[in-house]
Amino acid sequence: MFEFVFVDNKLVAYAPGSVQEFADGKWGVSKIPTGDLIGLPSADLDEVLKLTGGLEPIYDEDVVAEEDEKASKSPEFLRELYEWTGSIVGVLAVLVLVFLFAVRIIGIDGRSMENTLFDGEWVVVSNICYEPQRGDVVIFAKNDFLDGKPLVKRVIGVAGDTINIDFDLGVVYVNGEAVDDSNYVKEPTTSWADMSFPLTVGEGHLFVMGDNRNHSTDSRDSRVGLVDERELLGKVYFRLLPITKFGALNH
């Protein structure tokens, strides 16, 4: 005795014990020899039924359970795919918000920060959890100066610091101590504007200067003066371009 099932619209015989599913979803075993079944068109089903006296429906719980499991896997996969897609979209949304409000890419315009940063270079700036420190390179914008154009300078003094400059010797003093700026300034500080020294930095403000000291408009000039920390766009962390200089800003 052999089992049979429709395959490609044909009634095909199978070895005993290999129960298969019929087109109507039922499971059955034939009662006729395999020679009478192989390749028999499904259109001759009536003739088959006459030969066999009908099909005897049987149900194998293990087989049915296996088929149910297969059927359930597709919705589960779609559900997992939906969850992963939602997670990816959420991450992308967070990244967009970060770049819009916490991280900025800004181009350097001018030569006031030579030899640290040069005209035409691009940098990454962030104000996430940022607390200004002496020596940081920062970017800020003052609405009443150059129409709010971003300016890049170095922090020389923070709140409570007293700044003094000996313009004859080109030496900058913070709290009475000479600043060792020889590893980043282009030349000694001999250019003076209209601010009076010594000067004490007020709460929530910064004293800043460009590394190209004699070609920089900065806190020595009353048009810039002390920078309110609320005017900061952030600290410069990385140089993006030119690609030959890509990397973290070391000083």
Which positions are catalytic? 112, 153
Q: DSSP letter for 25, please.
A: S
Apex CA 105: angle with CA 231 and CA 187, to 5°? 70
Which amino acid belongs to residue 232? L
Report how far residue 90's alpha carbon sits from residue 109's, in angstroms, rounded to the nearest whole number. Answer: 35
Minimal CA–CA distance to 163: which of 125, 114, 208?
A: 208
Q: Quick one: tokens of 111?
A: 């030569």
| Neighbouring residues of 128: CB distance < 8 A, sequence distance ≥ 6 | 102, 103, 234
Q: Quick one: tokens of 104?
A: 């900025």
